């Protein structure tokens, strides 16, 4: 009822023009009709679209200016609400814009309200002061529950309390029309409504994300078992596995904000971010920052608002921001080559990250921390910043075990993991995976099984990043040891402590 209450308040306060951006035209009109009928006295409701004009009279058909003139001529003392469905397509027209500005003055002194229904947010700057935006959020948990209660009277429903909660959770973020279609599809497929409706609902959610062209819905293919080492990071994530439950809310725990994974390329930052969603059994959304940048004035900012709205509608979920340093490189350094668009988008995201209360967990990664604006690293943006270093010998053994278990699960004992770990000093996880793959290619070419010696030979052909980018890695390690972040591995933590003690012992005096 929050939307209806806010709309009623705006109408009673004589706000002249209300803009409701929502793809749920039918649901919005039902709520507007409820507000109109519940007024004291009841308000007359008039609907207009470009093809039919005003319902019942056809006035203003194919002519938005004529329709606006009709609103102006209506009785100023008779409480009325005028809903215009297609007007957003004509807001850039000089006649329509001018007429709206003139009409706004008239409506302030009358008991009439103009409501613009639009699937998108398109308000020209010259109308910004005349228009009040009212968002219609996706159906709440209570609304989805009421829809399920309605179905109980129509079809056979076989849902346990836990199954019903899971279905409602899967439906969160979808529009009511899509929820009804998914439920109807489940009933048509199985003859009843049961837990098999949950994957159908999740597929609808994936479709919605795909239609935005801003976010991607990624499958939870990776798990924590696919990651070698990083024991501190894993333990931190496991402690928060139940942080999005109602029990955690009752305990007083806030929703976790997110983590920033900083470190060397190929060390498992992206893999860890994706495995987080699998561990917590939450949807995984990926944001490509480049997709936020549009060519039209205001388009980037509008896409950013849409991204935030969809992510919050999908909550609880994990939002994956890969290579944050590349997406916002140069922001805050005085670069204004895009007229400040990047800075505005970046500022909007940062503000949201700090102030959001929704259950959207942000898992961000960065390779070059020195290019990140200082605002990103400030406390409040993330719950924790982890540094992922080159794997230790113990961790390299675990990484070899992960890859060889996938490639040859029945032959793992045939490989000398200790020797492989020892000989791969300076290799990152991606390079270890490449060595295993290369060894398999070499052995397959000779139509035989690959052995430890093949992997060692493959490693001899690889020049690891620790050699080609040694200076950059050294700077990252020095930054991490300075105490600005938390090590993701206990081995790295021990190595950092020993380094600090060694440095302190070598100081004069």
Residue 259 pairs with which residues in a beta bridge?
Answer: 363, 384
Distance from C-alpha of 400 to C-alpha of 265, rounded to nearest angstrom: 18
Question: Which tens digit of pLDDT belongs to each residue from 169-212?
Answer: 788 878 888 898 999 999 999 988 888 898 898 888 878 777 77
Phi first, then psi, for residue 266 (nearest 5°) are 80, 10
**DSSP letter for each residue of 284-343:** EEEE-HHHH--SSTTHHHHHHHHHHHHHHHH-SEEEEE--HHHHTTTTTTT--TTTTHHH
DSSP assignments along 106-135, one per residue = HHHTSSEEEEEEESS----GGGTTTEEE--
Order of strands across the sheet that contains 53-54 = 53-54, 44-49, 80-84, 112-118, 17-21, 131-133
Residue (of 440, 436, 458) closest to 449 by Cα position: 440
CA distance 68 to 374: 50
Contacts of 371 (CB under 8 A, 6+ apart): 325, 329, 330
Q: Which residue has the tokens 């093809």?
A: 51
Question: pLDDT 10s per residue in the chain (509 long)?
Answer: 689 999 999 999 999 999 999 888 999 999 999 999 998 889 999 999 999 999 999 999 999 999 999 999 998 888 999 999 999 999 999 999 999 999 999 999 999 999 999 988 888 888 989 999 998 888 888 888 888 888 877 888 888 877 887 788 788 878 888 898 999 999 999 988 888 898 898 888 878 777 777 788 887 778 888 888 899 999 999 999 888 877 888 899 888 999 999 988 888 888 898 899 888 888 889 887 777 765 555 677 778 888 888 888 788 889 998 888 877 665 655 544 555 677 788 888 888 888 888 889 999 988 887 777 777 887 778 999 999 999 999 999 999 999 999 999 999 999 999 999 999 999 999 999 999 999 999 999 999 999 999 999 999 999 999 999 888 888 888 888 877 788 998 887 776 544 454 443 333 33
Residues 6+ apart with CB under 8 A from 299: none
Domains of the chain plus CATH, in order, are: 2-133 (3.40.50.300), 141-212 (1.10.8), 224-388 (3.40.50.300), 393-425+429-463 (1.10.8)
- Counting every residue written for the chain, the total comes to 509
CB neighbours of residue 207 within 10 Å: 13
Q: What is the pLDDT of residues 291-307, one digit of tens each?
A: 776 555 567 777 888 88
317-321: strand order across its sheet: 215-218, 284-287, 317-321, 360-366, 258-263, 384-388, 486-487
């Amino acid at each position: 009822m929050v939307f209806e209450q806010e709309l009623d308040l705006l109408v009673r306060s004589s706000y002249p023009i209300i803009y409701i951006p929502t793809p749920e035209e039918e649901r919005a009109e039902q709520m507007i009709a409820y507000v109109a009928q519940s007024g004291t006295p009841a308000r007359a409701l008039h609907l207009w679209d470009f093809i039919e004009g005003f319902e019942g009279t056809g006035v203003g058909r194919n002519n938005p200016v004529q329709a606006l003139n009709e609103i102006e001529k209506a009785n100023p003392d008779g409480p009325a609400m005028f809903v215009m469905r297609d007007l957003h397509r004509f807001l850039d027209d000089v006649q329509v814009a001018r007429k709206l500005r003139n009409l706004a003055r008239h409506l302030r002194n009358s008991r009439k309200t103009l409501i613009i229904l639009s699937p998108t947010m398109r308000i020209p700057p010259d109308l910004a002061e005349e228009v009040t935006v009212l968002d219609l959020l996706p159906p709440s948990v209570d609304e989805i529950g009421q829809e399920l209660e309605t179905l109980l009277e129509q079809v056979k429903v076989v849902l346990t309390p836990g199954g019903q909660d899971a279905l409602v959770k899967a439906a969160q973020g979808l529009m009511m029309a899509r929820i009804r279609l998914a439920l109807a599809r489940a009933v048509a497929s199985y003859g009843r409504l049961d837990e098999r409706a949950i994957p159908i609902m999740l597929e609808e959610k994936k479709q919605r994300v795909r239609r935005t062209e801003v976010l991607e819905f990624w499958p939870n293919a990776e798990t924590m078992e696919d990651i070698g080492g990083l024991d501190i990071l894993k333990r931190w994530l496991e402690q928060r596995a139940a942080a999005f439950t109602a029990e955690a809310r009752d305990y007083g725990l806030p929703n976790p904000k997110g983590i920033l994974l900083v470190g060397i390329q190929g060390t498992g930052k992206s893999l860890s971010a994706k495995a987080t969603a699998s561990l917590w059994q939450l949807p995984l959304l990926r944001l490509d920052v480049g997709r936020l940048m549009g060519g039209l004035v205001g388009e980037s900012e509008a896409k950013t608002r849409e991204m935030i709205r969809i992510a919050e509608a999908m909550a609880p979920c994990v939002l994956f921001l890969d290579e944050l340093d590349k997406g916002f490189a140069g922001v805050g350094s005085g670069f204004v080559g895009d007229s400040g668009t990047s800075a505005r988008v970046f500022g909007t995201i940062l503000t949201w990250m700090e102030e959001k209360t929704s259950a959207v967990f942000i898992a961000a990664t960065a390779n070059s921390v020195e290019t990140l604006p200082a605002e990103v690293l400030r406390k409040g943006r993330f719950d924790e910043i982890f540094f992922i270093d080159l794997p230790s010998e113990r961790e390299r053994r675990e990484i070899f075990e992960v890859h060889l278990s996938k490639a040859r699960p029945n032959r793992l004992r045939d490989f000398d993991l200790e020797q492989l770990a020892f000989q791969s000093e300076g290799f990152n996880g991606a390079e270890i995976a490449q060595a295993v793959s290369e060894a398999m290619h070499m052995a397959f070419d000779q139509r035989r099984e690959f052995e430890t010696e093949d992997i060692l030979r493959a490693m001899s052909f690889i020049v690891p990043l620790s050699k080609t980018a040694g200076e950059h890695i050294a700077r990252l390690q020095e930054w991490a040891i300075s105490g600005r972040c938390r090590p993701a591995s206990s081995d790295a933590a021990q190595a950092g402590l020993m380094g600090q003690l060694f440095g302190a012992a070598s100081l004069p005096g």
